[in-house]
Amino acid sequence: MNSIFLDSMKRPEDMARITTPQQANAFIDEVVGAVRAQVGDRKVLLALSGGVDSSVVAALLIKAIGKQLVCVHVNHGLMRKGESEQVIEVFRNQLDANLIYIDATDRFLDKLAGVSEPEKKRKIIGGEFIDVFAEEAAKLEGVDFLAQGTIYPDILESDGGVKAHHNVGGLPGGMTFQLCEPVKLLFKDEVRVVGEALGLPHSMVYRQPFPGPGLGVRCLGAITRDRLHALREADAILREEFDIAGLAGKVWQYFISVPDFKSVGVRDGKRYEGWPAIIRAVNTTDAMTATIEEIPYPLLHKITDRITHEVEGINRVVMDLTPKPIGTIEWE
């Protein structure tokens, strides 16, 4: 695969960093012109996850080539509450994108049934996503480009051997596209500035990091639909209360994990067995190390009360106080 921006744009060390709306708009104008010149009247395919990078790339390319961009959003059933709905609302309803929405929930959850080993879960989710995306791509005609939300840290980590570049080499060998990577020379903070300039919702542009396997690695052990539902609802309460308390922009990542075991509780005067919801809230600059954010106890009490009373199946709320190292940010 060849990138249409690999040689035509400056190297990051030669660029003025994008920190203002004016700089972002100048960048947008440059990219729009470059995309139109390279793509012409052909089509571009993009896997739109709803994450920051792919969302900004989608908005950029919609501005440049409109419905020549084909966005494919695969809902693997492991998204957080409301995320797929937001993708549809923003891109199909507001930006009039050429969006293909695939609800593959049953397909993914059936494959994951009874699988408890974390790496096996990750491989199933990643492999199935590639299969679904490839099947959809095979139905399309006239697509010569594949757009990706590659950013500069991806390049640095790949070149330095830290990790494999997550946006390259993941698709089946039979899929031959030229790559379109319009933000590949930007850092994450610059991508956010560009996203705001493009008019994307603040909640989407500043979406906190979310693992590719989604809630699949936060529904610990073998995934069941009832526990996955409880996890999604509890996580939504945590995020809502952090927003209300003004912590959303101060804590780098915060989420709920729900393990595959129950404890005894009491509800309505009767014995009630339920799962614990584990709160994790960390701050970091590079994700290589992480510290624990101190959450005010009144807020923790409110979150606990809401989760235990509003979410069926959860009867305890606990907090993970382990920094990284020794604990990783995700449990799986």
Number of H helices, E strands in the chain: 10, 10
Considering the domain boundaries, does residue 245 fall inside one? Answer: yes
Range of the domain at 286: 218-319
pLDDT confidence of residue 67 = 95
The pTM score is 0.85
State residue 157's pLDDT score: 62
Measure CA 159 to chain center. 23
When divided into structural domains, the chain yields a total of 2
pLDDT the model gives residue 3: 46
Residue 184 counted as domain residue: yes
**Co-location of 19 and 48 in the same domain:** yes
Domain with residue 47: its CATH number is 3.40.50.620
Same-domain pairing of 150 and 173: yes
Q: Would you state the pLDDT for residue 10?
A: 58
Residue 4 lies in a domain: no
199 and 52 part of one domain: yes
Kindly state whether residues 43 and 134 are assigned to the same domain: yes
Q: Which residues contact 117 (CB under 8 A, 6 or more apart)?
A: none
Nearest alpha carbon to residue 213 among 134, 310, 292, 115: 115
**CA angle (97 as vertex; 186, 34 as ends), nearest 5:** 40
- Convert the pLDDT of each residue in 84-104 to its tens digit: 999 999 999 999 999 999 999
- Residue 237 sits in a domain whose CATH number is 3.30.300.10
Find the DSSP H helices in the chain. 21-39, 52-65, 83-87, 105-112, 118-138, 152-159, 188-197, 202-205, 225-245, 297-310
* 49 occurs within a structural domain: yes
149/240 same-domain check: no
Q: Which residues of the chain have pLDDT under 50?
A: 1-8, 161-170
208: Cα separation from own chain's centroid: 8
Tokens 């995700």 sit at which residue?
330
Q: What is the pLDDT of residue 12?
A: 64
Q: Do 229 and 288 reside in the same domain of the chain?
A: yes
In a domain, 58, yes or no: yes
CA angle 291, 242, 86 (to 5 degrees): 110
Which pLDDT score, from 0 to 100, does residue 8 have? 46
Q: Within a domain: residue 327?
A: no
Q: Give pLDDT, residue 17.
A: 87
Q: What is the pLDDT of residue 171?
A: 53
